[in-house]
Amino acid sequence: MSTKQGYEVRDEVWNEVQRAMDCYAPFASAHEGYAVILEEVRELEAEVFKSPRRRSYQKMYTEARHVAAMAIRFMLDVDDKLCTSESVEDA
């Protein structure tokens, strides 16, 4: 059982999203956003695939938080584009 409550994890992810938005411009393209998410997933994967004796649960937690934050950042950037441009389907 987790020692953290769901709202604590949510707040940690949101703080990571806010940090990323403060430090970095919006993704320049969908491809860039996807690449950032994939990089974070690969960092999580690298930790998960270590032998149980070498694996760090703190690192897995941190990388999972990064994955979640970058997915939310991607969604926010995509939503901004939806609001400001016409989609291909509407053309």
Round to whole Å and give the CA distance between 6 and 47.
23
* pLDDT for residue 23 is more than 60: yes
* Residue 86 pLDDT: 58
Q: What is the CA radius of gyration of the chain?
A: 16
Predicted TM-score (pTM) of this structure = 0.84
pLDDT in tens, 36-88: 999 999 999 999 999 999 999 999 999 999 999 999 999 999 987 777 765 55
Residue indicated by tokens 């020692």: 3
Which H helix or E strand runs over 88? none
Segment 23-46 shows an average pLDDT of: 96
User: What mean pLDDT do residues 12-19 have?
Assistant: 98
Cα–Cα dist 26/69, whole Å: 13
Q: What is the DSSP letter of 50?
A: S
* Pairwise CA distance, residues 74 & 78, whole Å: 6
